[in-house]
Structure 1
Amino acid sequence: MTIAAGSQDDKQRRAALWLLACLGVLAIQVLVQHLMGRLWICECGYIKLWEGVVKSSGNSQHLSDWYTPSHVIHGFLFYGLGHLLMRGKPWSARLLLATVIESAWEIAENTPMVINRYRAATISLDYFGDSILNSAMDTLAMAVGFLIASRLPVAATVAIAIVLELFTGYMVRDNLTLNVLMLVWPLDAVKAWQAGV
């Protein structure tokens, strides 16, 4: 074995360890949400690939929904953050940082405080939190976004983010930008527009 081959094997081994750590973080997220009393799947008792109705009891309960693109964009943003904070580190180490941030959000998002904030400040009047399955899929969607951003030029990643935001904004009057705005600084005019008033 040459030194170069040994070095490549070592890099692959380290990458595998970082990815294993990412799976560990996801497992912790799932466990914490289980201990919080979150439902594993939709209360309806079945799993759908796609839940296309935002104002329904199935929203945020199945494998994907209109908020999945927001989590892909999280991946874009976290890739950029990792690039800034962890220059010189392998992409797999940066993915671990992104997974920790996303998992922390997924746990926080499903606390009574944040759920009640969504109900009070946004159009999500019937929101009662994510199922564990949906939350885990949100984290995986973030990882997909991270991997996309790691492969594409910045301009292409930004363009995809803009298209996703405009598309979901048009289709359901909500997207990552509006979600953050309404969670942090709710505006009655935006809430009325989102409600279709």
Structure 2
Amino acid sequence: MTKLTIVYYSTYGTAHAMASRLAETAEKQGAEVRLRRARETAPDDVVQGQEAWAAHLEATKDIEVATPDDLEWADAVIMGSGTRYGHVTSQLQSFIDTLGPLWQKGGLADKVYAAFTSSSTKHGGQETTLLAMITTFAHFGGIIVPPGYTDALKFDDGNPYGVGKVVDDGGLNETDTNALDHLVTRVLSIAGRLGS
């Protein structure tokens, strides 16, 4: 049984919906899954000053906060974050910054890694955000498993680096769920082959 950790940060809920879909699909395929959120690091008055942000934080308060142990435990890791100026959110980066001791002892190496992101606009920094996470995975000594164009459905979402979602009020659409399902299936397949 492949052990998969999904670590994400979500301000308003899109990355949470994406992470939840990945977890659901992985569990249906027999994986043992840890779904974890990055700790909120924004000042409380800033969070509470935006109704949707505060509501999402409250709605997801029971999801465990990610720790380095969650990555040490895993055979495969998928990280996700909304874009911030073409990069990952500071909240996810803060989690990544706690991984130094685990990295030093080699505890992040030789695992399968992949990434997902979302942005408010079509050219809102999705590719650079995914590439930033991929760069981090390379520093870990990770086995990076992008979706590439390994299935015709990737021509619909068009992102070979991971999964990217342009946020709209409709939630995840069929293109999004197909791309997420393909990503996690590919991650589990490669992790399974490496583990056998």
TM-score of the pair, normalised by structure 1: 0.25
Considering fraction of residues, name the structure with more helix: 1
Considering fraction of residues, name the structure with more strand: 2
Q: Which protein shows a greater Rg?
A: 1
TM-score of the pair, normalised by structure 2: 0.26
